[in-house]
Structure 1
Amino acid sequence: MSIYVGNLSYEVTQDDLTSVFAEYGSVKRVQLPKDRETGKVRGFAFVEMETEAEEATAIDELDGAEWMGRSMKVNKAKPRENAGGGNGSFGGGGRSGSGGRGGRRY
């Protein structure tokens, strides 16, 4: 299982994300996709944590939290639809109706 993190600042780094998610458990991996042509981050990431319980806590605490001037979207990553390639290991997805629950500010 992994966590989709959306609406990120284009200035975010893997270390930034690791630091925030480490407050909720052991971070196994952070994937921060970059644009192929520009090399800049694309505004979303995937985070894997040691246990599902840690991931659930991070999702509950961070979804809607304001961080780096943006309200993060944090939820379980959905399996990627295999539309013409890719390894299908990660896929994102927004959650409709999350409605800005406030959350923690960073």
Structure 2
Amino acid sequence: MNIYVGNLNYTLKEEDVAELFAAYGEVVSVKLVKDRETGRAKGFGFVEMADDEEGAAAIAKLDGADVQGRNIKVNEAKPRENTGGGGFNSRPRREGGFQRQGGGGFNRGGGGYDRDRGHGGGDRFNRNSDGGRPQRRERY
């Protein structure tokens, strides 16, 4: 069972957390999350326990417990959602570019900054319902 542990004192080491959970069963691994740039602890981490029943017992007993002056948060870790990576330039590219509402600028086909979600206009002209000559759309 994979367990999330939060609100940890920043001075705690992985060995300290392993010892805390070992009272409830076999600890397979402990991973405290650290800041990539500074290397300092972020105050949360994950504990993997060999048996689900032992993990559930640890969650029941340790959630809200005072550890070095802090009430820790302990619950079953949820699977991480795939957000497509992360970091700079991880968003999917969109067509249309940054433009004024209703077209103009470069790329006269219309479409604002996000055509997929309808925030930029689409076509620069609207057609009549009878399919006649396109008419200019009012600008905001």
Q: TM-score, normalised by structure 2?
A: 0.60
Higher-RCO chain (CA-CA 8 Å, sequence separation at least 6): 1
- Partners of 1:17 and 1:50 lie apart in 2 by 15
Aligned pairs for 1:68-87 (under 5 A) are: 68-85=68-85
- Partners of 1:53 and 1:34 lie apart in 2 by 29
- Partners of 1:13 and 1:31 lie apart in 2 by 10
Q: Could you tell me which residue of structure 1 aligns to residue 60 of structure 2?
A: 60
| Cα RMSD for the two superposed structures | 1.1
Aligned pairs for 1:88-103 (under 5 A) are: none
What CA deviation, in whole Å up to 9, does each residue of 1:51-78 have, x standing for no partner?
0001000000000000011000000001
Counterpart of 2:42 in 1: which secondary structure?
coil
State percent identity of aligned pairs: 58
Q: Could you tell me which residue of structure 2 aligns to residue 48 of structure 1?
A: 48
Aligned amino acid, residue 61 of structure 1 = K
Query: Which structure's residues are more often helix, by fraction?
Result: 1
Say which one has the larger Rg.
Answer: 2
Structure 2 unaligned runs (5+)? 87-140
Count residues with an aligned counterpart: 86
- Partners of 1:73 and 1:5 lie apart in 2 by 6
Q: TM-score, normalised by structure 1?
A: 0.78
Is 1:22 the counterpart of 2:22? The answer is yes
What CA deviation, in whole Å up to 9, does each residue of 1:24-68 have, x standing for no partner?
000000011110011001100100011000100000000000001
Aligned pairs for 1:3-18 (under 5 A) are: 3-18=3-18
Structure 1 unaligned runs (5+)? 87-106
Aligned amino acid, residue 24 of structure 2 = Y
Runs of 4+ in 1 over 4 A off after TM superposition: none
